[in-house]
Structure 1
Amino acid sequence: MIKDNNGLAGRTGLLRFLLWLGLVCSGVSWAEAPAQEFGQREDAKLDSAGRVIEPSAPSQDAEIQSRLRAILSSSEQFTDLEVRADNGLVFLHGTSTKPDFVDWASEVAKNIDGVVAVVNNISVAPTDYLSGATLTAEFSKVWRQFVQALPLLLAAVITFLFFFFISRPVAAFLVRPVGFMTDSSLLRVVMRRLVAVFILLLGFYFFLRIAGLTQFALALMSGTGLLGLVVGFAFRDIAENFIASLLLSVQRPFRLGEVIDVTGFRGVVQKVTTRGTTLVDFDGNHIQIPNAIIYKSVIQNFSANPNVRGSFDIGVGYDANVRFAQETAMALMLEHPAVLSDPEPQVLIDSLGSSTINLKIYFWVDAAEYSVIKVASALMRQVVRAFEAAQVSMPDDAREIIFPQGVPWVGPEGDAVPPPEASEGTARVPQQAIAPEAKTADAGRLLDDLASDTDDIQQQARRSRDPEGGANII
């Protein structure tokens, strides 16, 4: 009988291979079984310690487990903590409220001698923001940060106060040369304030840098564009009036106490602020006009030139000597103390009416001393009386004839009947009853009444209530 040794050897080798494969598979299953029973996470991370595994090294699992549990427990950052070591492989299980301590546990385990790898099953517990412990912990954290940053905050506050106190003196020193270029008080004040604001902003920047709030400063500056756009639309009229105030302060088209006319409003300038100009008209009313309107409108200044021309009309008949009438009016004006001789007055023929030759009489007065309207009224009265005395006719359009002594009536027998006496209710004062002294006193009062009303309006404005706060800028 022939034995097949080769076949027997082959079958024996195959059986040995199958037996070894079964042992390996059973060993792997046994090694994985504790991990599954231990509650391994699906996302658990296997961290290798990076050490050379020595087969002859003695087992230190108990020491590793005890040492690692003591370290992690002393941190007081884990709950339901479980630590197990098996052949240098460490399994961690539990929860922590802080994500940073999850990775920290793996780093501690890898640094223990004898650890081959770490399977970290520690999860992050959800934070209960309504619990008292969480609020206390957050408050304590903020307090500790505040205490740590307190020295920097004090240094930042001291720096800002330093810039605050030096802003005005430094601004006044830097803007001092502007006073040699312009005498506008408003322009000097605005320049000082701009320089002072720039110094304050510089101090605020250093405050943020020292306090560690640089990101806040950047966020504030990035939002300034939109904020500035909104503020610009909201305060457009205010900014326009302020710029117009600067231009009026520099150019000075009028001064305080002068009589001006703007958009049909005439009065004495009482006050000019950064918002508007206050006029006091000749009725005593306060008129406030925004500076933007004044700067863009036509300004008529009646006080820039003290000499003001006045005029009035008077008509003489076609049968009158026109040249004589002109010379009479001219002589009367040249003798009047309120009429200026330079420029000299003029008596010109203005037009030819239906019944009269119309004369235009021009005269000049010093408006700072006399009122043009009052002088014109006095001149008209005196010219009419001079024409009457010189028998210069001044008819009206109705061709009315006046008989001062009345019209006598002749009866049938030819006897003249005297004109009727005045009624009992009418009092007639004879001219002889007026004494010459009374006439002189009356003429003096009329002359004094020619004074300008500007001083009276200015006195009323000084006694009146201040219509608007703020200092004068001109």
Structure 2
Amino acid sequence: MQEQLFPRSMLGNAEEMVNAITSLPFDIVVQANEIDVNQNSLSNAQSLLAELWSNFIYRLPGLAVGVLVMVIFITLATPLSRLLVKPLTRATTSPLLRSVIQRSISTVVVLLGIYLFLFLAGLTGFAIAVVSGTGVVGLILGFAFRDIAENFISSLLLTVQRPFRIGDIVQINEFTGIIQKVTARATTLVDFDGNHIQIPNATIYKGVIKNLTANPLMRGNFIVGVGYDANVQQAQQIAQSVIASQSNVLIDPEPQVLIDNLGSSTYNIKVYFWVDVEKTSVLKMASLLMRNIVAAYTDAGISMPDDARERIFPEGLQVINGPKQGNAPTVEKQTASTQKNVEVNASDDDVATEAHDIREQARRSRDPEAGENIL
């Protein structure tokens, strides 16, 4: 029956084809009219995995040593940074500067440990790429947070140079007050109205700082105008005696009473005096001296005319009377000394400085800046 369906010639040709196919680089499996072909891709994958495993085994000692070195560096970073920063405690008293230096040393030690781990693991190229990428990222962040970085660096410079201390009375640009707190971002002042003023440290470092308590001695001044009919030398001596009667005015430096300029109707006398601002208020003392000098001038008959509205006639003014039209009221002659409208103040006037009160107010008030005081 089979010979009728397939002649012998055809069967012979089929056997030759099977022999030819089996000689090809494939695995031939004949199963009930099915043929499975497994190519060399599986063997290639197996060889690749075997190569990776052998490389891992080869690098395993380096990885182990690298991990050990990195752990050692990370563990020693903090104590090593503290040890290296300890000698700086004699050079600077700034806690912020010491903290920044300590953290910088610790960061460098940790990064060195990571680099050694990558080097021992055979990933030097990756380590270089990471370092380069870190530099680029740092540059980008520097531009993005330029103002924050500027304030932080300024705070470091302020802690090193220390142009003021906590409690000093300073004038920074147009602001005057008492230093309450200095943080990594800003400096807090309390002005003499009780207001808290926060000034960025970069503005302070680049601005004009006037420290009013670095030298506790401060000079005050004011101007008093006396008429041209007055004895100006006598007026100066009277002012000197009034100043000398105040125990809170310093003798050294010596107070001065000088003619500052000539006004339209007065000699403008400028009074200079010195006080200790830790004990005496310049404004209160100036007010007291002006009041007592005016009272002394009034007692001495020294005129103090108004520059704009009053004219003094030293020789008097001749009045030509017209025809009498009855009894005119008699006008009494008045001089500057006929009526004393200023009373010399008692010696127990309060001229104490208000700086202590402002410092106490600042201590009791709510702190508007939550950062740590770096001074």
TM-score (norm 1): 0.60
* Of 170, 178, 198, the match for 1:288: 198
Residue 443 in structure 1 maps to residue 346 in structure 2:
yes
CA distance in 2, matches of 1:340, 1:259: 20
* Equivalent-residue separation in structure 2 for 1:332 and 1:102 (angstroms): 109
SS in 1 for 2:28: strand
- Match 1:228 to one of 138, 141, 165: 138
**Residue correspondence of structure 1 range 288-327 to structure 2 within 5 A:** 288-327=198-237
Distance 1:334 1:241 in 2: 48
Q: Deviations over 1:256-282 (max 9, x none)?
A: 111111121111111112222111111
Partner of 2:250: 340
Map Cα deviations across residues 262-311 of structure 1 (whole Å, 9 max, x no partner): 12111111111222211111111111111111111111111111111111
Counterpart Cα distance in 2 of 1:228 and 1:376: 56
Distance 1:93 1:103, change over 3 A: farther
C-alpha separation in 2, matches of 1:180 and 1:302: 28
Pair 231,374 (structure 1): closer, same or farther in 2 beyond 3 Å: same
Partner of 2:44: 100
Q: Is the 8 A contact 2:243 2:289 kept in 1?
A: yes
Paired residues in the alignment total: 332
Q: Which of 344, 366, 370 is the matching residue for 1:465?
A: 366
Q: Distance in 2 between matches of 1:31 and 1:180?
A: 100
Q: In 2, distance between residues paired with 1:97 and 1:464?
A: 79
Percent of pairs identical after alignment? 50
Matched, 1:172 2:172: no
Hey, what does 1:399 align to over in structure 2? 310
Deviations 1:143-186 (A, max 9, x none): xxx9xx99999987776555444322221211222233333333
Indicate conservation of the 8 Å contact 1:269/1:280, yes or no: yes
The residue identity in structure 2 corresponding to 1:467 is: P
Q: In structure 2, what is the equivalent of residue 369 of structure 1?
A: 279
SS of the equivalent of 2:90 reads: helix
Counterpart CA distance in 1 for 2:19 and 2:132 is 54
Corresponding residue of 2:355: 454
Q: Which runs of 5+ in 2 are unaligned?
A: 1-12, 31-35, 50-55, 313-324, 333-339
Whether the 8 Å CA contact 2:22–2:28 is kept in 1: the answer is: no
Counterpart Cα distance in 1 of 2:47 and 2:364: 83
Q: Which amino acid aligns with 1:256?
A: I
After superposition, the CA RMSD in angstroms is: 4.1
Cα offset, 1:322, TM superposition: 0.9
Contact 1:313 1:358 in 2 (8 A): yes
2:150 is aligned with 1:240: yes
Q: Larger RCO: Structure 1 or Structure 2 (Cα < 8 Å, ≥ 6 residues apart)?
A: 2
Q: Retained in 1: the 8 A contact 2:187–2:199?
A: yes
CA 1:37/1:281 → structure 2, altered by over 3 Å: closer, same or farther? same
Counterpart contact for 2:265–2:311, Cα < 8 Å: no
Looking at structure 1, the residues matched to 47 and 215 of structure 2 have their Cα atoms a distance apart, in angstroms, of 91
Contact 1:348 1:361 in 2 (8 A): yes
d(CA) in 2 for partners of 1:454, 1:207: 59
Shift of the alpha carbon at 1:327?
Answer: 0.4
Q: How big is the shift at 1:318? A: 1.1
Give the drift of 1:32.
8.7
Q: Which secondary structure state, in structure 1, belongs to the residue aligned with residue 346 of structure 2?
A: helix
How far is the alpha carbon of 1:346 from its aligned partner?
A: 0.7
- Residue by residue over 1:313-350, the C-alpha shift from the partner in whole angstroms, topping out at 9 and shown as x without a partner, is 11111111111111011011011022111111111111
Q: 1:82 aligns with which of 28, 43, 65?
A: 28
Paired amino acid for 2:365? S
Shift of the alpha carbon at 1:211? Answer: 7.1
Measure the CA separation in 1 of the matches of 2:88 and 2:47.
67
Q: Taking structure 1 as reference, are residues 451 and 37 closer, same or farther at Cα in structure 2, changes over 3 Å only?
A: same
The 10-residue stretch of structure 1 (453-462 or 202-211) with the greater mean CA deviation from structure 2: 202-211
1:100 aligned partner, one-letter code: N
Cα distance in 1 for partners of 2:47, 2:118 equals 35
Q: Structure 1: how far apart are the matches of 2:356 and 2:104?
A: 39
- Please state how far the C-alpha of 1:98 moved relative to its aligned partner: 2.8
CA separation in 2, counterparts of 1:469 and 1:415? Answer: 76
Aligned-partner Cα distance in 1 for 2:114–2:47: 41
**Which has the greater radius of gyration?**
1
The farther-off stretch of 334-343 and 190-199 is: 190-199
What amino acid is aligned across from residue 251 of structure 1 in structure 2?
Q
1:413-451 CA-to-partner distances (Å, cap 9, x unmatched) read 688899xxxxxxxxxxxx9xxxxxxx99x8366x22x11
2:100 is aligned, of 190, 193, 196, to 190
Q: Please state how far the C-alpha of 1:461 moved relative to its aligned partner.
A: 1.2
Distance 2:164 2:133 in 1: 42
Match of 2:337 in 1: none
Instruction: Kindly indicate whether residue 292 of structure 2 is the aligned counterpart of residue 382 of structure 1.
Output: yes
| 1:96/1:102 contact within 8 Å kept | no
